[in-house]
A and B are shown apart, each in its own frame.
Chain A
Amino acid sequence: MQNLDRSFLKEVSRRSGQGFEGCFHCLSCAGGCPVVDAMDYNPNQLIRMMQFGMREEVLGSRAIWICVGCFSCLSQCPNRVHIPAMMDTLREMALESASKVAEPDIWAFHREFLKQVRKRGRVFEVEFMLRYKLSTGALFQDMGAGLKMVTKGRFRLTPTRVKGLEEVRRAMEGQDGRNR
């Protein structure tokens, strides 16, 4: 046990501002999670894996990308372990690391959204959706839904741009995560 690599757990803890020793695996988080069946590990299992120093397995997991941050786990955790904040940190660390992003489509969604923000300060939904489709190669998947949005007039078809775009870009300085 003394040979366990604690550095990973310490780093997640520091960056997310969370202690994980409170978790006693009661499964309240997993039980209340709306998307747990799409995850490869339960949220509490990720905590245990972090405690065992399993850096690559955690950062390479699908679970960290599947979490939508609905706070169901946190509101049900008897020890208030902030799993959504942990997931945010783990995704950030996964992008910094050499691990493969296990859910490339979800990352593409985030990445294309952020590109919009950098470009205009806001999201131009039509272009965002098209670019997401192009980057995932699933241009025609869900075409019906997209067309319905357009024909129903749900999308604004002309973009707007923030005047203080420089400030928005300053807010997004530093590492941009990888393009993959």
Chain B
Amino acid sequence: MAATADGSKAGRIRYYPGCSLASSAREMGESFEEVAKGFSLAMEALEDWSCCGSSPAHSTHPRWALLLAARNLLLAEEQGGGDLMVMCPSCFVRLKEADRQIREDREKAREVERAFGRGYRGGVRLRFFLEVMGELGLDAVRSRVKRPLEGLRGALYYGCLLSRPQWITGFDVGPYETFLEELFRTLGAEPAHWGYARQCCGAHLAVSKPKTVDRLVDRIRDHARRAGANCLVVFCPLCQVNLELRGTDVEPLPVLYISEVMGLAFESAEVKGWLGRHLVDPLPLLSSLGLI
């Protein structure tokens, strides 16, 4: 399987979970792990991982962000190097940015050495989880579908970091967009055509400026509805929570992770556990469509 790199055992994916996946986005990690298992891939969390240096660190202390990310890169290198898959777009951008800075800027590399007493040699290949998913192949996906998701019309929502150009974030969903739409169709569902897939969800302002974020979420939902979607499909833990928790609709759309949608089509036994934790209950929709 191409998802593993030189040195690491075949069939294993070492990954960086990040704080959300360990808590509020547990179902994103669990469902991905379950889906990967179906493809004979075992997930293995980076040992002793720590905060990636995301928003609060880089927003107020850019130097801390570099060093917090660097610690995880050092760990990954010491634990064998090679591929490190990252699930959360925000963690991915932080790690990728630190990796780039240390490689390109000698002063930054020295700063890492000074802080940790050892240097990062660039032995980690950071991969966003969509890259790994892209390698599964549509035929392999098709052969695992047990329950085609007929009637599910999803607005695929990429949010901000995924959809910015690669020169900024290190990953651009652009080349994967067609794949994701086809993947969604392969599962028997139908992607909605809409123009709001790349609008920011409001990120951490959901906590400190809820009204501002209500407005952003209302707009996203409104556009998804107008495009005929009955659910939103997301790729980021923060987008998921914001789209469920914010907005002023009385009947908000369910918000599913792409990996949950796959698990649903594969009839994974764990599905109800993941979906039962959602703040917008997706079960009424899914049972009305006879999908659960």
Contact = CB atoms under 8 A, between A and B. Distances in A.
Residue among A71, A91, A132, A160 facing the most chain B CB atoms (10 A cut-off): A71
Contact of A92 (B49, B55, B62, B245): B62
Interface in A145-160: 145, 148-149, 152-156, 160
B136 interface: no
B203 A110 contact: no
Contact of B165 (A69, A75, A117, A173): A75
A103 B276 CA distance: 36
A106 interface: yes
Interface in A95-135: 95, 103, 105-111, 113-114, 117, 121-125, 129, 132
Contact of B22 (A122, A129, A164): A122
A177 interface: yes
Size bin of chain A's contact surface: 35 or more
B48 A164 contact: yes
B261 interface: no
A72 interface: yes
A66 B71 contact: no
Interface in B237-260: 241, 245
Given A75-B168, A117-B68, A160 B62 contact: no
Interface residues of B, number: 50
Nearest to A106: B208
Interface in B93-108: none
B226 interface: no
Nearest to A124: B23
Contacts of B59: 69, 87-88, 91, 110
A171 B67 contact: yes
Contacts of B282: none
Given A142-B210, A153-B277, A171-B115, A114 B200 contact: no
Contacts of A89: 62
Contact of B204 (A92, A109, A136, A152): A109
Contacts of A171: 64, 67-68, 70-71, 115-116
B202 A114 contact: no
**Most chain B CB within a 10 A radius of its CB, from A69, A74, A136:** A69
A88 B94 CA distance: 13
Contacts of A137: none
B272 interface: no
B279 A149 contact: yes
A154 B50 contact: no
A172 B55 contact: no
Contacts of A167: 50, 71, 116
Contacts of A123: 19, 23, 51
A156 B50 CA distance: 16
Nearest to A33: B200
A117 B208 contact: no
29 contacts: A34-B216, A35-B200, A35-B202, A35-B205, A35-B212, A37-B212, A38-B209, A68-B55, A68-B205, A70-B160, A70-B164, A71-B161, A72-B160, A88-B58, A88-B62, A89-B62, A105-B208, A107-B60, A108-B208, A110-B60, A114-B61, A122-B22, A154-B23, A162-B50, A170-B67, A171-B64, A171-B115, A173-B115, A175-B61
Interface of B: 19, 22-24, 26, 48-51, 55-64, 67-68, 70-71, 75, 115-116, 160-161, 164-165, 168-169, 199-200, 202-205, 207-210, 212, 216, 241, 245, 276-279
Interface of A: 34-35, 37-38, 66, 68-72, 74-75, 85, 87-89, 91-92, 95, 103, 105-111, 113-114, 117, 121-125, 129, 132, 136, 142, 145, 148-149, 152-156, 160, 162-164, 167-168, 170-175, 177
